[in-house]
Every structure is written in C-alpha cells, then in structure tokens.
Amino acid sequence: MKKIIECVPNFSEGNDLLVIKQITDQIESVEGVRLLNVDPGKATNRTVVTFVGEPEAVIEAAFLAIRKAGELIDMSRHTGEHPRMGATDVCPLIPIANISMEETAAYATRLAKRVGEELTLPVYLYEAAQPDKTRNNLSVIRAGEYEGFFKKISQPEWKPDFGPAVFDAKRGATVIGARDFLIAYNVNLNTTSTRRANAIAFDVREAGRVKMENGKKVLDADGKPVSIPGSLKSVKAIGWFIEEYGIAQISINLTNLNVTPVHIAFDEVCRKADARGIRVTGSELVGLVPLQSLLDAGRYFLQKQQRSVGVSEKELIRIAVKSMGLDELTPFKPEERVIEYLLKDQSGSRLVNMSLTEFADETASESPAPGGGSIAAYAGALGISLAGMVANLSSHKKGWDDRWKEFSDWADKAQQHKARLIELVDADTHAFNQIMAAFGLPKSTDAEKATRHTAIQAATRFAIDIPFQVMQTAFDSMSVIKAMAETGNPNSVSDAGVGALCARASVMGAFMNVRINAAGYDDKSFVSEIVERGRKIEKDTIALEAQILKIVNEKIGV
C-alpha cells in the first residue's frame, strides 16, 4: 500500500492571488502530488495550502514551493495579524496512511536540510522532527517574530538547525517539522476588542495566563512566573481583530482532537465569552478538517437537544455547520473542506452517486452490470433505511421524550448497516468487472493460461465474498427492523414490515449470487462451507421475516 503524507505550508501572503497561484503552480507541477486546498486570509495576510501524496513527491513539491515563496514574498514589507517569521512561515508534514510519525519526521529533516543548504535559508525543525525538546514548540521558536529574529538568530541557543545563522531580510526564516493532524479554528465574537478576545483565549488555552497579584507577576521558588492553566488541554489560542470582518476572533490550534475536539472547544469558548458579557456569533475552520470531527460535532449537538443521532452523514455535517456557525463568514462546502471527501476516489462509487432514475436505467440497459448482486445490496439498504426512519420518528414522538436515547441508538445502528450495504452496491459490480477482466487476459501460452486461471480464481473468490457480505449485513439489519416493529411508533409499523420484506429479498438475492459464482470456483471444500453457511442465513432470515410480519399484521389488525 502507498505511503501517504500531507503537507500544510503557511505562506506569508494572503492578498495577492497571483503570487499565491505561482506558489501553488510549483506544487502542482510535481507528479503524484494532489493539491487539496488553498485558503488565503486577507487580515492575516497568510495562505494555508494543503496537499498530499507519496513522501518523495511531497517533499519535492514543498521544496519548490518554499523556493518560489522566497522569490516572490518580501518579508520586510509584510504585515498581518498572524505571528510569522518567514515567507514560508511553517511547513509541517503529517502522516496520513501507511507511514509512521518517525518516518515522516525523517522526511521533514531531509526537506529542512535541503532547504537550508540549497536555498541558504535559516531553517528550524519542530515537533517530532526536532530532537531538542527545549525548542520543538512552534510558538517558542517563532517568539519575537520576523522583527525580533535579526537579534535572536545570533544567539547560540537559537542557531538554526540548517542553513546560515544570518537572518534573511527578504525571506526571513522557516520552520519545518512533522506533527499530528492539527485543526486551525477561529471563533467569532461580537466585539472588536483584541484585549477581551485575548482574555477569553487565555481562559481556554492550555498554557493559560501568568498569575498576577497587585499588578505584579507571581514567581515560584525558582523565580519563574506562576501560570494559571486554561480549561482546555492540547489547545493553543490567541485573540485578534480581523479588519476584513470587523470583529475580534479567538484563533485556536487544536493539537490533539482526541483530547479536545472542535465542538468542545466551541462550547467552552461560548461559556467563557458569556461569562465576560460577550457572545460567540459563529466560527470558521482554516484549511481542511477530518470527517470524523464534523460527525462527532453533529452527534454532540443533537444529543444536547435530546434528538436522535441516527441520521445520515450529510445531516450530521449540516447540524455541525449550523451549530458552530461555520458558514457565518463564508459558505462552508464539505466537498471542498473535508479531507476524506477530497481524497476519495469517486470512480469507485459510480452507482450510488446516480439518481434513482439513472440507476434504474443503467440496470435495465444491455450492460450486465449492475446485476442481481448490486440490486440485492440496494434492496437491503432500503429495508434498513425504513427501520432507521421508524427509529427516528419514534425518538421524536410526542410523549416519548424519555425514550429518545433508546431509539437514537437503534437509528444509529440502522445507519451503520445502511452505510455498509450502500458500499456493497458498487462492490458487487466491481467484483463482476474483475471476473470479466480476468477472462479477458491472454491465453496463448501455458504461462499466460496459468496466470489467467489464477486471476479468474482470485476474482471469483472476491465475487463470492461480496454477496455473502450482503447476506450477512442484511440479515444482521433485521434485528433493528424487528425492534422497530415491536417497540417503534405504531403508526409506522407497516414501514418496518416493508423493511423486513426488503431485507429478505436482499439475503435471498445475494445468496443466488454466492451460489452461481461458487459454481466456478476450484476449491470445493470452501464452496461447500460457504454454501452451508449461506443456507443457514437464508433459513434464519425467512424465519425472522415471518416473526416480524406476524407482529406487523397483528398491529395493523385489518
């Protein structure tokens, strides 16, 4: 599997789109790199760029971008709200897939060494790439900013890790490192006061504020200032005024989403702001966000309302966006801001992205795919979707407020089954296409025949496994359907009954595909085992469907 890393360089230019485009053109010129997001900020005069790829390609693209930024940006003329020290202010590498933090840090060090030596630019390592833990924190390295670095860089303890120990008036210096995924997040306030915004930032950030008594800093036994910690762990924050929007913001870096996720940071800022007579009016994400962060936020805010969390991914994101006001300043488009959506290969979801009419037309065409296996998976998805609907209606039913969590849990299970069955719609067609591709391999020589046979057998095994997964998932979904028939909103009991019919059709239809594909598989012991397991699932499905329909018909009563 490919090793994938992400690079999120921050360039000290947020207004001149031509300059930004010239920098990102360098990134896109490298084969194997995918530019995901370009997020310029006028008030901060800073652009956050996000791109991904295999390590070698990523560090080549990063080097070219750093070089171009140094050519185009003059730091001696730069002003902006965000702390900065160079044309390329910071350039972190983040492990995304099949690569460790240690490996990523090694690539960051390689990049830093090349930048320092070939571009004669002062470079500091940070986070996981910095072996000296006394200087691995970005804010500590950047303290003093561009204006203070002419003196700072001459101090022995601040000698750069690579490059000359002479500050470059035009390009400044840069910081390169490796870190975990970080979210840059700004919370909007109904004030123009930077001082009050900073007070809220100090309330929440982990570092907190220096303790004061009678206007003087309180010192510990070693003569160092005593700090009062803020309320949120793994959070860095400052307050600033954004002239572009005419408001003050809390600018936050969330450095560990497992410790403090976005929604918790938002709510805590709301509480601290309210205590100081200030309102939070919304917020904005800078750059990209992991899908899970928005899904967790959507669930969190629904739970606070005692509403069912068993809704679609799209609805969870909508709730998250509206609850945190992520679209207050600019439109929030998930397809452009969620990292998984940008990385997703849409070619693998051709069928499920069709309209109902398009899907029916494609099924009815002379093409052999999608066939019965994909239709069986989709029938199962429709069946469990009906059960999810009953659960959500029940969760919100008048007089059943004390049962919202019970039905929310059922709806959440329904969503999980539905999501898997939807995936299997396209997976079954992929399995069929793999068999066709294997049969199309050359067979002129004995070697080619052997290779072709092996490919056909591997594709056949896959084509057995996919519909079997459909069977198992559709059958498992029937426990939710039965629960909704038994305990759900009685006005929707017929919907549970239709769901059971769909689930039964899904299981039996998928089993036909298991059997017809198994007929061409050489390993007969495996065939015997999988068919036996399939027959049991089929038998159990028919029995469970009968139980559900009995409940449904008794409740209908006519």
3-state secondary structure of 108: helix
Residue 48 near residue 39 (C-beta atoms within 8 A): yes
For the domain bounded by 4-178, which CATH number is listed? 3.30.990.10
Of the residues 82, 161, 203, 296, only one is catalytic, namely 82
Q: Judge: domain 183-343, CATH 3.30.70.670.
A: yes
- The C-alpha atoms of residue 166 and residue 152 are separated, in whole angstroms, by 10
Q: Which residue ranges of the chain lie beneath pLDDT 50? A: none
Instruction: Tell me the C-alpha distance between 45 and 81, whole Å.
Output: 7
pLDDT in tens, 302-324: 999 999 999 999 999 999 999 99
Domain boundaries, the chain: 4-178, 183-343, 346-556
CB neighbour burial string for 413-450, b if at least 16 within 10 angstroms, e if fewer = bbbbbbebbbbbbbbbbbbbebbeebeeeeeeeeeeee
CATH class of residue range 346-556? mainly alpha
> Which is it for the CA torsion 342, 347, 353, 355, positive or negative?
positive
Mean pLDDT of the residues in the chain: 93
**Token pair for 78:** 């730069």
Answer whether 99's CB lies under 8 Å from 7's CB: no
**Cα separation, 513 vs 504, whole angstroms:** 14
84: CB partners within 8 A, 6+ apart:
10, 12, 46, 75, 78, 142, 145, 146, 172
pLDDT in tens, 368-400: 878 899 999 999 999 999 999 999 999 999 999
Distances from the Cα of 303 to the Cαs of 96, 154, 415, 450, in angstroms? 30, 55, 16, 58
Residue 129, CA distances (Å) to 106, 175, 177, 422 in order: 7, 10, 5, 41
| Single-letter code of the amino acid located at 557 | G
pLDDT attached to residue 283: 97
Among 39, 168, 428, 495, which one carries the catalytic annotation? 428
Q: How far apart are CA 19 and CA 25, in angstroms?
A: 10
pLDDT, residue 180, reads 87
82 carries an active-site annotation: yes
State the virtual CA torsion across 399, 401, 405, 411 in degrees, nearest 10: 50
Tens digits of per-residue pLDDT, 475-492? 999 999 999 999 999 999
pLDDT digits (tens, 9 = 90+) for 213-244: 888 888 888 888 888 999 999 999 999 999 88
Whole-number pLDDT of residue 352: 82
Please state, as a whole number, how many other Cβ atoms lie within 10 Å of the Cβ of residue 326.
25
